[in-house]
Amino acid sequence: MRSVHHDTAGQPTFEPMIQIDMEIKTFVSAWKHCDYVSTYMARMISQNRSDSVRHLNLFSSAFNELLEVAFRTRHADGELACRVSRHGATDRIELTFPCVPEERQFYEKAVSQVAGSEARERYLNSVSGDLAPSREVVLLELAVDYNATLRVEEAEGDAIKLVVDLPLEGLQH
C-alpha cells in the first residue's frame, strides 16, 4: 500500500510531472498549438496508467478544451504556463495565462457555477442549443463529463491560474 502525502493544510500533495511555458503571443499565433501541446502533454503523462490509450485520449481532449479557453484571452502580453502534477488517480492541470480584469471576473463566476447539482442541468441546456461552445460551457463540460473539480487561484500580474483536478483513472464512462 502506498502512503499518501499531505501538505501542511491537510491537502494531498500533488507531485509535479511536466510543465511547458511559452509566450502567449506565440501560443495564440496558431490554433494548432492547442492540439500539439495537449497531445504532447497527454503522451508524456499517460504511459504508466492502467489503460494508457484511454487515459491519453481523455486527458488530451480535456486539456485541449482548457487550452482553447486560454487561446481566447484578450491580453496580448505575458506567458502561458501549463503544469501537470499527479496524486493517485487524479491529474492536476494548472493553466496560468494573462487576462484582462473582466476575463478574471468571468472565470471566477463561471468556476463558482460549475459545482453543485445545477451544473449538469445547465450543461445539458447549453449543449442542446445551437450556440457555439463558450468558455463557460467548456468548464461545465469538464465538471460534468470528466468529473473535474475546478478553481481559480491568484497569479502574479495580469494573469489567472485555472486549477483543474481530473480523476480520469477512476472515471466510469
Q: What is the pLDDT of residues 128-141, one digit of tens each?
A: 765 555 788 888 88
Q: pLDDT digit string (tens) for 37-51?
A: 999 999 999 999 999
Q: What is the mean pLDDT of residues 57-68?
A: 94
101-107: long-range contacts, CB 8 A cutoff, minimum separation 24: 101/158, 103/73, 103/74, 103/75, 103/160, 104/152, 104/160, 106/135, 106/136, 107/135, 107/152, 107/160, 107/162
Q: What pLDDT is stored for residue 2 in this prediction?
A: 44
With a cut of 60, say whether residue 5 has pLDDT above it. Answer: no
What are residue 89's phi and psi, to 5 degrees? -85, 0
Under 8 Å between Cβ of 130 and 159: no
With a cut of 80, say whether residue 6 has pLDDT above it. Answer: no
Q: What is the mean pLDDT of residues 51-60?
A: 96
Under 8 Å between Cβ of 90 and 77: no
Q: pLDDT digit string (tens) for 74-131?
A: 888 999 999 999 999 999 999 999 998 898 898 898 888 887 777 777 777 777 765 5
Q: What pLDDT is stored for residue 72 in this prediction?
A: 85
Report the percentage of the chain scoring pLDDT > 70: 92
Cα distance between residue 112 and residue 139, in whole Å: 10
Report the percentage of the chain scoring pLDDT > 90: 53
Round the average pLDDT of the chain to a whole number and report it: 87
Q: What pTM, to 2 d.p., does this model score?
A: 0.86
Q: What is the mean pLDDT of residues 3-15?
A: 72
Residue 133's SS3 state is coil
8-state DSSP, 132: P
Degrees (nearest 5) of the Cα angle 100, 105, 108?
Answer: 125
Q: What is the dihedral of CA 135, 164, 91, 124, to 10 degrees?
A: -50
Q: What is the mean pLDDT of residues 68-79?
A: 87
Please identify which residue in the block is written with the cell numbers 450556440.
Answer: 131
> How many C-beta neighbours within 10 Å does residue 112 have?
12
Give CA separation, 28 vs 44, 59, 71, 102, in Å: 23, 21, 6, 19
With a cut of 60, say whether residue 173 has pLDDT above it. Answer: no
With a cut of 70, say whether residue 3 has pLDDT above it. Answer: no
